[in-house]
Amino acid sequence: MDLSIQNIEFCKGVGAKRADILRKELGVKSALDMLYQFPYKYIDRSRFYFIHEIDDEDTYVQIIGHITEWHTIGTGAGARLSATFTDGRHTIELVWFKGIKYLKLERNTQYLLFGKPSRFNHQYNFVHPELTPMAKVKPEMTKGLEPYYNTTEGMKRAGLNSKAIRNITAELMPLLRQGGVRETLGIDLIEQQHLMPLTEALANIHFPTDQIAMQKARERMKFEELFYIQMQILRQMKRREQNEGFRMPIVGKAFHAQYNALPYALTNAQKRVLREIQSDLKSGKQMNRLLQGDVGSGKTIVALLTALLAVDNGYQACIMAPTEILANQHYETILQLLHQSTQSLHDTTRPLVNCQLLTGSTTTKQRIPLHEQLRNGEIDILIGTHALIEKEVQFANLGLCIIDEQHRFGVAQRAKLWEKNIRPPHVLVMTATPIPRTLAMTVYGDLHVSIIDELPPGRKPVHTLHYNIERRTTINQFITQQIDMGRQVYVVFPLIKENEKLDLQDLQNGYNTLCQTFPQYKISMVHGQMRAKDKDEQMQRFASGETQILVATTVIEVGVNVPNASVMIIENAERFGLSQLHQLRGRVGRGADQSYCLLLTKLELSKDTRKRMDIMVATNDGFRIAEADLQLRGPGDLEGTQQSGLPFELRIASLTHDGQILDVARQAAMAILDADPLLDEMHNRIYKQRLDHLRQTVVNWGEIS
């Protein structure tokens, strides 16, 4: 029987109602779909413990023994049942808070106790353990590795818990072993990578004969998953490399004037990146390049020089930023740099390059001439927010799109930029959020990557300190000391207003407290609910030095550049992820003075939170922080949505833990595509068919960006 066409409804233990739930919750339509719902963990049911051997709260154990006594404590909804269980040598407490009336305990009955121990008052106990009379224990219950499956609330309401999924899957095993399933990888690849065949892997991933078989089955399925993701990404890259691009061979007057007028020398990393970009622009193929650079590494000047290469070749360029603050920041910085290049030519009457700004705050009166100048080619560089993708924004000859912090834009939004010219423009994607290698190989695996891994000379690493809130007096003294030395201070809060449900510092109360604590200083305040005009006014007061302290939410995370600000204080730092903490810290350390980042937290912290604080204190390296963030949080959280940016869903592989398998899978996919880019050879048809099948239900936004 072909399991791929066997309707899940007619499989034993399912039926119409459960089949409908499985379709809605998991997308399971066939028996084969069910076999691709992999266990998330296994518990060894072959080992039996004695009570004195319990020494870990994270390990499931099973013990044979009997109950000596039990009694109910309390009444009504708050009642609990406590029982004493013995293995013949020692005793341990069992506790139930729910379903007490359904429990039928007997003194002279031998039970199999199964569960995860917990600690209370320095003593181990079991809360809601499974308790099965030994007379009812089936052999398979205590044999080998027992799989556990993820379920949803909707599934649980329909009785589809992990045990039910396990039972349904078990009923499919004879059908699987009898008929097998069609292989999804070539025989040569299976032999070359020493992989378990698919039928054997599917059987052993659910009901492994032993630990080794389970590991081999999981490795096979992880390899397959990552192999096809890389195959799709690399095919995408090869197709893009065939896209004809605007040829830009000239390094002309605008570029040279700007390069020679820079007030500082570029770092070797910036020069290397510019050479890589220039090579793309003159190749005649469309550029699709990701530029990674830590906060303060000098991506803006690279973006400007890249835009000037386009201008020198007769094309327009645009730079799109996710917020008005960042767009304004880029505009002001670039205008200042362009002014210097114009002065260097001893011709101040007319700017060498016409650069304009377009954001949501641009008035209708300002837009009318701007749109006209853009259409007739008078504007060389247009900087803006998502306002750039509006239909009425039409370029004369757009040749280059630079997108900053691109993960903050929807893919459909970015795609609208590509329609601004007959042929897709060159694309440079920039991010100040360092991307872990495994994530870069998947989410951005079809882009060529450039990295600015060197800070400009004279920059001192930010000194990071972790304090609990009881050290408030010491922190206030430090603020006074720094401001009296002529420095400025950021204070960031997680909330705008007080929230009764959350025990957190908030911006409104924090602002009032700081005004009372530091009456001698002027204080600005910005947050996301302010009007853009008011926000910019407050930011400008701080940037000009009129105010000494800026109280803010994470609205300042990206794009704020005040070299005189040398102190970043983050209240309730435990509420922020590593990446966000690193971005906030990047707001200081932009001048020649020693800068500081103070992480303020509650006294009691979880293990993971303490790890985050320790990492921040230990390093300023954004790439090390990004890798640590991936380890702690996983790729879904980093990207903002579950597996955002991946061409196919990850069911079993982990970008956090399976980097080595990913490397091997990418190399294998690359070798096949290098030899047969279209997958037309007979022995490669299997890959083409599988890719077509996987893509049937996926919107492939990667084609666009």
Q: For the domain that residue 99 is a member of, what is the CATH number?
A: 2.40.50.140
| 509 & 574 share domain | yes
Residue type, 421: N
The tokens describing 400, both together, are 């280059």
- Quote the pLDDT of residue 35: 95
Q: What is the CATH number of the domain that holds 353?
A: 3.40.50.300
**Cα–Cα distance, 662 to 103 (Å, whole number):** 49
Environment class of residue 676 by beta-carbon count within 10 Å: exposed (0-12), middle (13-18) or buried (19+)? middle
Asked whether residue 629 is domain-assigned, the answer is no
Q: Is residue 451 within 8 Å of 444, Cβ to Cβ?
A: no
| 472 & 528 share domain | yes
415 pLDDT more than 70: no
- Quote the pLDDT of residue 84: 95
Strand 523-526 to strand 549-552: parallel, antiparallel, or no bridges (unpaired)?
A: parallel
Asked whether residue 192 is domain-assigned, the answer is yes
Given 423, 452, 481, the domain boundary residue is 452
Q: 256-279 burial string, b = 16+ CB within 10 Å, else e? A: ebbbebeeeebbebbebbbebbbe
| 305 & 237 share domain | no
| 36 & 57 share domain | no
| 13 & 69 share domain | no
State pTM to two decimals.
0.68
Given 429, 452, 475, the domain boundary residue is 452
**Cα–Cα distance, 636 to 655 (Å, whole number):** 10
Query: Domain of 202?
Result: 8-42+162-210
Report the pLDDT averaged over residues 588-593: 82
- Quote the pLDDT of residue 633: 65
| 542 & 686 share domain | no
Environment class of residue 86 by beta-carbon count within 10 Å: exposed (0-12), middle (13-18) or buried (19+)? middle
Asked whether residue 606 is domain-assigned, the answer is yes
Give the CA distances from residue 403 to residues 188, 292, 673, in Å, rounded to whole numbers and listed in that order. 42, 12, 30
**Cα–Cα distance, 382 to 299 (Å, whole number):** 17
- Quote the pLDDT of residue 638: 37
- Which residue has tokens 């990913």? 662
| 531 & 660 share domain | no
- Quote the pLDDT of residue 37: 94
User: What is the rounded average pLDDT for all residues in the chain?
Assistant: 86
Please name the residue ranges forming H helices in 345-471. 364-375, 411-418, 437-440
- Quote the pLDDT of residue 563: 85
**Cα–Cα distance, 230 to 659 (Å, whole number):** 13
Asked whether residue 147 is domain-assigned, the answer is no
Asked whether residue 577 is domain-assigned, the answer is yes
- Which residue has tokens 């690399």? 234
- pLDDT higher for 130 or 506? 130
- Quote the pLDDT of residue 172: 93
Pick from 154, 203, 199, 209: nearest CA to 179: 199
| 301 & 329 share domain | yes
Q: Considering the chain, what percentage of its residues have pLDDT values greater than 90?
A: 50
Report the pLDDT averaged over residues 298-316: 95
| 236 & 302 share domain | no
51 pLDDT more than 70: yes
| 103 & 124 share domain | yes
548 pLDDT more than 90: yes
- Quote the pLDDT of residue 129: 92
Asked whether residue 185 is domain-assigned, the answer is yes
The number of folded domains in the chain is: 5
Given 91, 107, 142, the domain boundary residue is 142
Report the pLDDT averaged over residues 353-365: 92
Asked whether residue 632 is domain-assigned, the answer is no
| 543 & 602 share domain | yes
CA 576 vs. chain centroid, Å, equals 14
DSSP state of 471: G
Asked whether residue 369 is domain-assigned, the answer is yes
161 pLDDT more than 80: yes
Q: What angle do CA 680, 685, 688 make, to 5 degrees?
A: 90
| 130 & 12 share domain | no
Report the pLDDT averaged over residues 314-325: 90
